[in-house]
Copies of this chain bind each other. A is one copy, B any other.
């Protein structure tokens, strides 16, 4: 039988944000391959299905292993959180194909999208991504900090809303604060900053701050940080969390 490989996105956390197309792909698979924390979110599908959990930061090795299973005729699902194309496993799979066995290029390899963290995080607080925006990973494991700084400066100058993925980890506790400093030198201190933790799950919570007073220590591996544009607005409510949104129209809201 001809093997196949599908890279699927589980969405932000709660099972009710997994698309039916992803569920169908998981159900069909002989083998599930992924980072342990994501595999733990997949319910048991059928008894013959095999799970191959690996540690984080082993993306290319994991992708090669999954491709070798598919080349041997297995139906393989590689599992990512969020969307697999956004700082997820999809790019690793294609890199493994390009640098791997020539036969892997003939495999049936597809990507099933999911709800990525910034969309789920934005939805918790309102609509902060309502206008042009960018997504930057603050991890410098795979790129230089100079590149990250250059992108932060450009994003600030162009007045994008900025979603910061991988804002902090135990190994990188200082980068979010450094990013805030760069943005604060180019944006008003009143710029809204949103910390959303565990977006898309029943445990979701968010904090709104301003760039002048944002505390980078609020972020951890489960946090997505969204820095507003000059147009992003706070909509207060009596006795409840405020909403945060960015109007689609430039230059203010109104009748």
CB <8 Å contact, B132 and A151: yes
With known contacts A90-B126, A95-B245, A20–B18 Cβ distance under 8 A: yes
Stretch at the interface among A26-34, A97-105, A168-176, A215-223: A97-105
Min CB distance A166 to B, Å, is 11
Which residues 178-222 of A have a CB within 8 angstroms of B? 200
Task: Give chain A's interface residue range (CB within 8 Å of chain B).
Answer: 35 or more
Q: How far is the CA of A235 from the CA of B98 in the complex (A)?
A: 7
- Report whether over half of chain A's contact residues are helix, strand or loop; otherwise say mixed: mixed
Min CB distance A229 to B, Å, is 10
Q: How far is the CA of A31 from the CA of B151 in the complex (A)?
A: 43
- Closest residue of chain B to A97, judged by CB? B235
CB <8 Å contact, B19 and A115: yes
Q: How far is the CA of A132 from the CA of B129 in the complex (A)?
A: 16
> A154 is contacted by which of B19, B122, B155, B253 (Cβ under 8 Å)?
B155
Given known contacts A85-B129, A134-B135, A134-B160, what 6 new A-B pairs fall within 8 Å (CB)?
A11-B19, A16-B21, A90-B130, A111-B127, A113-B122, A132-B151
A-B contact pairs, 20 of them (CB 8 A): A16-B19, A19-B115, A83-B119, A85-B128, A87-B130, A87-B248, A90-B123, A91-B127, A91-B245, A94-B127, A95-B248, A95-B249, A98-B235, A109-B243, A113-B200, A133-B134, A151-B159, A154-B154, A154-B155, A154-B157
